[in-house]
């Protein structure tokens, strides 16, 4: 039984684990739970779709042997009381964290979340990690003393299989009507609570020609993916009102977009670390770096990603980008600072764990 992002999306680690199980362990019955109104057209037809709070949902809560999600559970809101024999796998939605989380950000989290997080860790049977840094973080900050499988995270398996990357690129290009000869730039900033779109604004008519030079392309297409927390809260239409710029906010899977893209521009999103598994260039564009601070695990200027705090700096960073230096700094960072453990077989390792612990 799987769900992601509070029953609102088909994606992240539970999705990639599910699709591995379909291919390699077809005897397992897989159910996904979604809220009413959520588009499930991307769900593999071999997966059984269940609606949140339906009679079948309540039955599954009591009978499913394995439960997998990528966020904390709330037992009172999802009506779940863990039964003997059930195994709960917390497939957390990040492999390397930039912003401080859980106990390390306790003063910024509400009382309700803290209680929910502590209960969630108490009933959890397995957490996963994609790096030595994240394993240490789990032990220190998640109120969790159970088993950690340091195998990578399933959603990053995609980046290690060339044909899967090519399939993602063709799918994204077809979805947005992008030529397969175009280079694709993904702009994926995180969210602010300010209610303004100013921190996200980029004049793509100025920036795109420089991106073409940097990427050695005749044409560049930009996909703008705003954070789901902004959906319906602010009008972002002006951010994609340029030729060759597409709105990717509602596309169902961020990982496919990362796989399909040749360059990522973000600000404070941990997607930068997932993207780095491919060795492709990533740039940071953060106009409010001095104000946006819930505490970081890294000094921004010690990251391997070039940082721009305004549009002029962004143009300069693109113009001066040194591919060889970037790759050296990125490799040093991933190996020596993060201790990355990703190698493309996280789903396989999780499936082995499930077989070993199955009744």
Which structural domains are found in the chain, ordered by start?
Answer: 12-157+344-357 (3.40.50.11820), 163-338 (3.40.50.12580)
Cα–Cα dist 111/109, whole Å: 7
Q: What is the mean pLDDT of residues 200-212?
A: 97
Q: What is the mean pLDDT of residues 327-354?
A: 97
Extract the tokens encoding 157.
Answer: 């398996």
Q: Which spans in the chain are helix H?
A: 12-24, 55-63, 75-78, 111-123, 132-141, 162-176, 204-215, 254-260, 271-276, 311-319, 323-332, 346-357
Per-residue confidence band for 180, with pLDDT thresholds at 50, 70 and 90: confident
Measured in degrees and rounded to the nearest 5, phi and psi for residue 149 equal: -95, 110
Q: Could you tell me what percent of the chain has a pLDDT over 90?
A: 83
Give 80's contacts (C-beta < 8 A, 6+ positions apart).
61, 73
DSSP of 221-288, one letter per residue?
EEEE---GGGTTTS--GGGG-STTEEE-TT-S-HHHHHHH-SEEEESS-THHHHHHTTT--EEEE-TT
What DSSP designation does 46 have? T
Q: Could you tell me what percent of the chain has a pLDDT over 70?
A: 99
Per-residue confidence band for 294, with pLDDT thresholds at 50, 70 and 90: low
> Are 262 and 280 within 8 A, CB to CB?
yes
Neighbours of 203 (CB within 10 A): 11
Cα–Cα dist 17/196, whole Å: 37
**Per-residue model confidence as pLDDT tens digits over 102-155:** 999 999 899 999 999 999 999 999 999 999 999 999 999 999 999 999 999 999
What is the pLDDT at residue 334? 97
């Amino acid at each position: 039984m799987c769900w992601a992002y509070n029953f609102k999306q088909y994606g992240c680690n539970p999705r990639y684990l599910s699709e591995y199980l379909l291919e390699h362990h077809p005897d397992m019955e897989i159910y996904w739970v979604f809220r009413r109104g959520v588009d499930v057209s991307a769900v593999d037809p071999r997966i059984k779709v269940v609606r949140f709070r339906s009679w079948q949902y309540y039955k599954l809560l009591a009978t499913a042997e394995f439960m997998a999600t990528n966020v904390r559970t709330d037992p009172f809101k999802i009506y779940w009381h863990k039964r003997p024999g059930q195994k709960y796998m917390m497939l957390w939605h990040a492999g390397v964290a930039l912003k401080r989380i859980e106990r390390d950000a306790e003063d910024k989290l509400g009382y309700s979340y803290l209680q929910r997080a502590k209960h969630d860790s108490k009933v959890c049977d397995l957490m996963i990690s994609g790096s030595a840094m994240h394993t240490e973080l789990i032990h220190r900050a998640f109120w969790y003393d159970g088993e950690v499988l340091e195998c990578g995270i399933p959603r990053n398996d995609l980046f290690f299989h060339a044909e899967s990357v090519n399939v993602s690129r063709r799918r994204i290009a077809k979805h947005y009507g992008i030529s397969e000869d175009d280079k694709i730039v993904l702009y994926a900033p995180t969210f602010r609570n300010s209610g303004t779109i100013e921190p996200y604004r980029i004049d793509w008519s100025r920036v795109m020609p420089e991106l073409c030079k940097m990427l050695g392309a005749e044409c560049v297409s930009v996909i703008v993916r705003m954070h789901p927390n902004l959906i319906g809260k602010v009008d972002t239409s002006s951010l994609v009102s340029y030729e060759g710029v597409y709105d990717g906010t509602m596309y169902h899977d961020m990982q496919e977009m990362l796989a399909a893209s040749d360059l990522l521009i973000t600000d404070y999103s941990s997607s930068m670390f997932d993207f780095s598994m491919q060795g492709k260039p990533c740039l940071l564009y953060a106009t409010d770096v001095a104000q946006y601070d819930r505490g970081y695990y890294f000094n921004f200027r010690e990251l391997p990603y070039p940082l721009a705090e305004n549009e002029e700096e962004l143009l300069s960073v693109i113009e001066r980008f040194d591919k060889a230096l970037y790759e050296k700094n990125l490799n040093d960072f991933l190996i020596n600072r993060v201790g990355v453990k990703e190698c493309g077989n996280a789903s396989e390792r999780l499936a082995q764990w499930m077989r070993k612990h199955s009744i």
